[in-house]
A and B are shown apart, each in its own frame.
Chain A
Amino acid sequence: MPSMNNAAERVRRELLIRVIRGELDGTLDQEIDRIPIVMRPSDQPASRCCIYKDRAVLKYRLMGILGFGVEDETDEAKPLREYLAEARLRREPPKEVLSVAPVACYGCIESHYVITNACRACFARPCTFSCPKQAITVGPKQAEIDHSKCIDCGKCTTVCPYKAIIRVPIPCEEACPTGAIRKDESGREWINFDTCISCGKCLKACPFSAVLERSQIIEVIRAMKEGRRVVAMVAPAIIGQFPATLEQLAEGLRKAGFSDMLEVASGAELTARNEAKEFFERMERGDHLMTSSCCPAYVEAVRKLIPEMRKFVSATPSPMGYSGRLAKERDPECVTVFIGPCVAKRKEACSDPNVDYVMTFEELGALFAAREINLGTLEGLKLEREADPYARGFGAGCGVTAAILHEMSAGEGQTPPKIDGKLINPLDRKNMRLLKLHALGKLPGNFLEVMACEGGCVGGPCALVDAEKGGAAVRKLAREE
């Protein structure tokens, strides 16, 4: 499915390029408040109701790039350059990740069933009979639903011979696995951070591009400008995201201002090894289940919403966690930046002292574009160390299980316990319920690999290519195919 053909994504990336370029040049102070005007000049048609609204939305998006959410807005008249000044001084990355821009939120109507004009007001009227609440009446031209009676059961949609009844969803609410995004009385969406797991599905789902994430790009550029050693820890999902090899990426990252590239797959090797060991121990002691812990959205989901599962989540650090450790062991003074397709990693990094900042592939792409680095033309740097092929497979669904199985088969002398692995992917409402049942021991399987995004990390909200293509590239490198 081509997702790149999408106006919202393009705007997001264009804004990033402009901000990064301005900040690198040192001209962003003068430029930033003009960006909405430059991008939405008055002589061009508006994409919303008017250019002023377009510009207001761009302002909120820019606030997000500077690391601020709508929740941080105290004065609507505050210019972007003041936010920029604050962002440059900020020492702690923002605690929450997602936010909804009020002007951008279209306030989709409550998800509901609609009888379209395909209805012929037929004679048989199966809809009226199938409705358990008598909410449907048939007028002279077509049937109507009384929404005060409708319970959203959807029975009418299945019986209509014209398929005239459809369900109109609210995209963000539909995508959210935990029900954390909801309307207020005025109809606009708010995120409840008590239940938000920062998976970023709403970000990807909103057709009005109203959901934004708080970026840390200003901090990363600051570290580069201060001349610090900034280590790019690239997620295994990176392969296939750019038209480049790992070697070319290593050179591109160097040119972009990073000191080294560290494959997070090196951390994944340790995760796989220790998680295999942990699995062995847990089975020995009689546990019926262990789950992976590398997906931060899943870990948040368990912490906040599936208490039954807490004791079964692997305590082994994630590949990012190990990679941060490796980097800081080598040079405690270095600045570590995890680069991936993930929104939730920002949250995980907040509680990991070894990971300073998190960037997305989208932001990295914008950094390359801003610096005019053309990966395809680079010679490429020889990798200091090649990560294990199995560990490189972590970024696609089943990759974790494959790596652990590999580790277990390589185990010294012991007979490994039988592993009955299941992949829980993606994290949606149905799978949230399944996880509960697994925790209670009501379903078969003793090892669960849980990935919030469709197809694994490659399907993350900030990936650059679609999950299928990304997944194929990851699997190829992991030599699974």
Chain B
Amino acid sequence: MGNGSKLKVEICLGTTCFILGASELQDLAQYLEPELLDRVDIIGRTCLGFCKDRKFDGAPFVRLDESIVIERATVARVTEKIKAMLKEKDAE
């Protein structure tokens, strides 16, 4: 139930994530179905800090609800995870 608490989707737009694929993730909202879109808060961030200590292998990073970190994020993978998490929420 989309009551009040929306799923927080933080997309890293730090330079490293950006050049390794986040430039496409910027448009995530365009690809989400309207029902999903209503239930998420998409926020662009400048560097979530995961690329520190030269660990860029996982970039681009997306963080869901402050807890789940998606590595090598793509629109498809993020959408899938969002769906799964919303389902879990609904079940609660």
Contacts and interface: CB of A to CB of B under 8 A. Distances in A.
A218 to B, nearest CB: 19
Contacts, number: 68
Interface in B18-50: 18-21, 23-24, 26-27, 44, 46-47
A464 B23 contact: yes
Interface string B58-89: 00000000000000001100000000000000
Interface string A9-53: 010011001000100000000000000000000000000000000
A27 to B, nearest CB: 12
A365 B75 contact: no
Contacts of A21: 54
Of B14, B15, B26, B44, chain A has the most CB atoms within 10 Å of the CB of B15
Contacts of B18: 242-243, 365, 464
A2 interface: yes
Contacts of B75: 2, 5
Of B14, B44, B52, chain A has the most CB atoms within 10 Å of the CB of B14
B21 A10 contact: yes
Contacts of B74: 5
A13 B19 contact: yes
A67 B33 CA distance: 45
Contacts of A432: none
A369 B14 CA distance: 9
Nearest to A361: B19
A14 B54 CA distance: 12
B20 A14 contact: yes
Contacts of A10: 20-21
Contacts of A5: 21, 24, 74-75
Nearest to B52: A372
Nearest to A377: B46
A21 B47 CA distance: 19
Contacts of A365: 15, 18-19
Interface string A361-381: 010011011001111110000
Contacts of B13: 243, 376
Contacts of A4: 21, 23-24
A374 to B, nearest CB: 5
Nearest to B27: A2
Contact of B47 (A3, A362, A374, A464): A374
B46 A368 contact: no
A10 B37 CA distance: 28
Nearest to A371: B15
A100 B63 CA distance: 39
Interface string A338-377: 0000000000000000000000001001101100111111
Interface residues of A, number: 25
A46 to B, nearest CB: 17
Interface residues of B, number: 22
A41 to B, nearest CB: 11
Interface in A363-408: 365-366, 368-369, 372-377
Contact of B14 (A13, A252, A366, A376): A376
Contacts of A252: 15
A368 B19 contact: yes
Contact of A369 (B26, B44, B56): B56
Contact of A2 (B24, B52, B54, B57): B24
Contacts of A465: 23
Contacts of B57: 14
Nearest to A17: B56
A369 B22 CA distance: 13
B27 A369 contact: no
A362 B21 CA distance: 12
B19 A366 contact: yes
Given A14-B56, A17-B56, A369 B16 contact: yes
Contacts of B52: 372
A26 to B, nearest CB: 15
Nearest to B19: A365
B59 to A, nearest CB: 8
B73 to A, nearest CB: 10
A25 to B, nearest CB: 10
A21 B16 CA distance: 13
Contact of A362 (B16, B19, B44, B56): B19
A464 B74 CA distance: 16
Contacts of A2: 24, 27, 75
A10 B21 CA distance: 7
Contacts of A243: 13, 15, 18, 23, 26, 44, 46
Of A368, A374, A375, A464, chain B has the most CB atoms within 10 Å of the CB of A374
Given A17-B56, A242-B15, A369-B19, A376 B24 contact: no
19 contacts: A2-B27, A3-B24, A4-B21, A10-B20, A13-B19, A14-B56, A252-B15, A362-B19, A365-B18, A368-B16, A368-B19, A369-B15, A372-B52, A374-B15, A374-B47, A376-B13, A377-B46, A464-B18, A464-B19
- Please give me the 5 A-B residue pairs with the lowest Cβ-Cβ distance, nearest first: A376-B46, A365-B19, A4-B24, A369-B16, A2-B24
Given A5-B21, A374-B47, A376-B46, 7 more contacts: A5-B75, A13-B20, A14-B57, A373-B15, A374-B14, A374-B15, A374-B16
